[in-house]
Each structure stands twice: as structure tokens, then as C-alpha cells.
Structure 1
Amino acid sequence: MQDAAYIKRRDEIQTYFDRTALDAWKRLISTEKVSGIRATVRAGRDAMRSAILDRFPHDLTGWRILDAGCGAGPLAIELAHRGADVLGVDLSPQMVSHANEALPAIRNGGSVTLIAGDMLAVEHGEFDGVVSMDALIHYNALEAAEAIAGLARRTSRKMVFTLAPRTRPLVMMQAVGKLFPRGDRSPTIQPVAIDRLLTQAVQRNDMQGWTRGASTRISRGFYISVAEELVRS
């Protein structure tokens, strides 16, 4: 059962993507030309997606993978092309509906299923791997740590997820967002002290057997995110 703070934050994010940002995100993930901030975000997300894919074998036959916070599903689709059976879960029913309308044929025996829901729900079952790109960045350190531990309990091999590093530019942007709140702006990114969060996470009793792997930072203008890897021995 998720705590009240997580549920409140989850519902805020769903409201943003379903009621405010869907059209903007459709343009961002499309091939149409964008400019300014959107161009840096698109470039950063493309680079981050490649960095996450680099953490997995090219042959994922036999793997079941959860894409937690899948958005329009590009990462899930690439993993499925490598032979994995991928379940993508996103809070936004409209985003998932848009993604399902454009799903390509999957190569190499893999499969992809995209559904709307809570990425942490135990009903999704168990997985060999978990990816989560730019979903945990909207939760504070405690909520993110709990989410990671919850996913780890149902994952047998590895998890790769992104976090927002606690840097001066991100902290300043967060502060400005709080000073000038707007109902239609993106849910605030929550910068965290990544090393401390993950050090404490792998020391938890329910995280025994997990060790920290490689880290990759992507910085493209307004896009600043770090991919972290946890591996189960």
C-alpha cells in the first residue's frame, strides 16, 4: 500500500499529463521540428534513452521487463525489439492511448504491452529487469527510495532508472517554481543527493543482494538527469 504523500504526488502528475501537457508532449516525442527549450529536452531524452539501452544485452530473449513511467513507449519498444517481453506502465491514460495507436510491429520475438496505471502496483507481477526514465525525478528522496525498494522486491536481475542530481541550477529552478506557482506547469523536478540516496538504499534490509553499478549523467541545456544502475547478485 502506498503512503499518502506518494499517492498525492502521483495524482498531481497524472493530472498534469492528462489535462495540460498531452499536446506539448506529443510534439516533443514526434519527429516534427521543435525549438528552444523543447529541442534541448528532446536531445537530452534521446541521449538518455541510448544510455539506458546500453546497460542491457542486445539479446533480451527470455527477459520480462517493466518500463515504469513509459510515456509514449519508445524505450519499451526498443527493449522489445531486442527480444524482451515488456510491460510499459504510465499514469496518463491519454498518453498510453496515443502510444498504442502508433505501436510498430516488434522484431525478434519480443512483445510490448502499454497500459495506464501505477508503476509500483504489485499486480504487475515480477520482472527480470526494470527501467524507469524520468519518472522518479518528480518524487522526493524518501519517496524515490521507497519506490526503488518496492520495485527491487519484484525484480531478479537489474534496474536502471534516472534521478535528478542536486545541482545548483536544478535547485534554483525548483525554488523559482515554488515562488511562482502555476496550475498548468510541469510537476516540479525533485533534485536529490544521489550518492546518499543509493548508498542508503542498498543498505536496507529489503535490498540485500543489490549493488550499485555504473552511472551516466546527461546534460543538454535544460535537461539534466543521471542514469543509475542497480544489479542483483
Structure 2
Amino acid sequence: MTATDDKTIVREYFNATGFDRWRRIYGDGEVNKVQLDIRQGHQRTVDTVLDWLRSDGNTEGMTICDAGCGVGSLSIPMAEMGAKVFASDISEKMVGEAKERAQATLGQSENPVFTVQDLESLSGSYHTVICLDVLIHYPQDKAMDMITHLSQLAESRVLISFAPKTVFYDVLKKIGELFPGPSKTTRAYLHREADIVKALEANGWTIKRNAMTKTRFYFSRLLEAVK
């Protein structure tokens, strides 16, 4: 399967069966125990990013690119903090949901700016580039290329989260693949932290902070890299 095939599958998934599943997971309505666990895990990753931004001081006017924004779980609170947020997602339905949630929270504000784009087509220059839980859709070589691309968009900081490749998580992933539900149709790629760090350092970044979020069904390693 080529990277193009992966991208097409991801786009179609999040515009179809996957959209309803993940909209509920990232919302506040009733979900099953597994979905609740994933919701809580993802929110912890989002909260960690927000805590780091707050600890660094004033975000007023800071330009931030939220690459793979989903339904706006991170973009909207960053806009509330005063950052100028450009948010994108490959799924038109996800972006539509994000716009609705932003309007409900922020009114008719033009911030964040939401757009339907894949990561490869992103351009511009931003103080900070953030990409949460998206590299799981990229095989190893394409993930490294994507880190280089995102690095070219960032002036001062990159934050990336990914599903870490360890023996334990490899086994857990294989077990999960034995029970494919109708809304689980995308491939999931795990990545070695050493490879992610190496790619960031090759682009001139230094790791400043890191965090690990793990629940029963959600696991994500978060790295913050600075110049």
C-alpha cells in the first residue's frame, strides 16, 4: 500500500464511518467505555500542550499552526488564550464540525481559521507548529518527511505527538487488529521515539520537554522541540 493510498483511506474514513465515531469521542456525549478512555487520554494530551503554552507566558497574537486539527479540541482553547490559530484537517466533515464548535464557543470570531488541507499542502510561517496524534497515519519514511515539512513551517517551536513503538504497544496493536470494527479501517503506524528525535534534531531542533499519556486504550508520546 502506498502513502497515497493511506492518505485516501484516511480522508474517506474521517468523512464517513470514522467521522461519527471520533466526533462523539472528542465531544461530551455518551460513549462506551473504550471511547471514553480514548477521549480522556486525548484530552490529557491536549491539556498538556495548553499547560506548556501557559507556562511559557503570554500567547496573545502568537501564530500557531494546528496541523491535523480534527474537531478543534486544541485550536479553540488556543484561540481563547489569544493565539492566532491556523487549523487544518484532511477531513471536510471534521473541519465543518470544528467550525460549528468554534462558533458555539467563540461566536462569529474569524479566529481560528479552519481549512480543509492535508499536511503535505500546508504552507506559510508560524511561531509554533503543532501536530497531535496524526503521525499514526504515516509509515516510517513518510513520517520523517513530514517532520521535515512541518519544521520548515515553524519559526520557534514544534510540538509533535505519536504512538510510540515498543514491544508492549506492538503487542497491544496486534491484539486490537484481531477485532476490527466497522469504524476501524485505517492503518495505525507506531514510531520509535529515537527516530522522531533524530528527525527533529536533523532539522535543527532541540528537545525541550516531553510527556507520555497512557490509558488502557490510548497511548501518545508528546515532544516539544525548540531552536
Q: Is the TM-score greater than 0.5?
A: yes
Counterpart in 1 of 2:66? 67
For residues 173 and 217 of structure 2, the distance between their equivalents in structure 1, rounded to whole angstroms, comes to: 12
Residue-pair matches, total = 223
> Tell me, what secondary structure is at the counterpart of 2:52?
coil
User: Does the 8 Å CA contact 2:72/2:101 hold for their aligned counterparts?
Assistant: no
> Tell me, what secondary structure is at the counterpart of 2:119?
coil
For residues 188 and 162 of structure 1, the distance between their equivalents in structure 2, rounded to whole angstroms, comes to: 17
Q: Quickly say closer, same or farther: Cα 1:77–1:32, change in 2 above 3 A.
A: same
User: Does the 8 Å CA contact 2:84/2:111 hold for their aligned counterparts?
Assistant: yes
The answer to whether residue 118 in structure 2 is matched with residue 121 in structure 1 is no
Bigger shift: 210-219 or 179-188? 179-188
Q: Quickly say closer, same or farther: Cα 1:5–1:60, change in 2 above 3 A.
A: farther
Unaligned runs of 5+ in 2: none
User: Does the 8 Å CA contact 1:132/1:162 hold for their aligned counterparts?
Assistant: yes
> Tell me, what secondary structure is at the counterpart of 2:207?
strand
User: Does the 8 Å CA contact 1:84/1:110 hold for their aligned counterparts?
Assistant: no
User: Does the 8 Å CA contact 1:137/1:162 hold for their aligned counterparts?
Assistant: no
User: Does the 8 Å CA contact 1:81/1:110 hold for their aligned counterparts?
Assistant: no
The structural deviation recorded for 1:75 is 0.2
Q: Quickly say closer, same or farther: Cα 1:74–1:177, change in 2 above 3 A.
A: closer
Counterpart in 1 of 2:42? 45
The answer to whether residue 25 in structure 2 is matched with residue 16 in structure 1 is no
Runs of at least 4 residues of structure 1 off by over 3 A? 104-107, 173-184
Bigger shift: 98-107 or 112-121? 98-107
Counterpart in 2 of 1:213? 208
Bigger shift: 48-57 or 83-92? 48-57
Q: Which of 206, 220, 227 is residue 225 of structure 1 equivalent to?
A: 220
The structural deviation recorded for 1:19 is 1.6
Bigger shift: 11-20 or 51-60? 51-60
**How is 1:138-217 mapped onto 2 (pairs within 5 angstroms)?**
138-176=137-175, 184-203=183-202, 207-208=203-204, 210-217=205-212
The structural deviation recorded for 1:215 is 1.0
Residue identity matched to 1:6: A
Q: Quickly say closer, same or farther: Cα 1:201–1:101, change in 2 above 3 A.
A: closer
Counterpart in 2 of 1:99? 98
The answer to whether residue 51 in structure 2 is matched with residue 54 in structure 1 is yes
For residues 30 and 84 of structure 1, the distance between their equivalents in structure 2, rounded to whole angstroms, comes to: 23
Residue identity matched to 1:14: R
The structural deviation recorded for 1:174 is 3.5
Q: Quickly say closer, same or farther: Cα 1:182–1:36, change in 2 above 3 A.
A: closer
TM-score when scaled to structure 2? Answer: 0.88
Counterpart in 2 of 1:33? 30
Residue identity matched to 1:133: L
- C-alpha RMSD of matched pairs (Å): 2.3
The structural deviation recorded for 1:121 is 1.5
The structural deviation recorded for 1:199 is 2.1
User: Does the 8 Å CA contact 1:83/1:111 hold for their aligned counterparts?
Assistant: no
TM-score when scaled to structure 1? Answer: 0.86
User: Does the 8 Å CA contact 2:90/2:118 hold for their aligned counterparts?
Assistant: yes
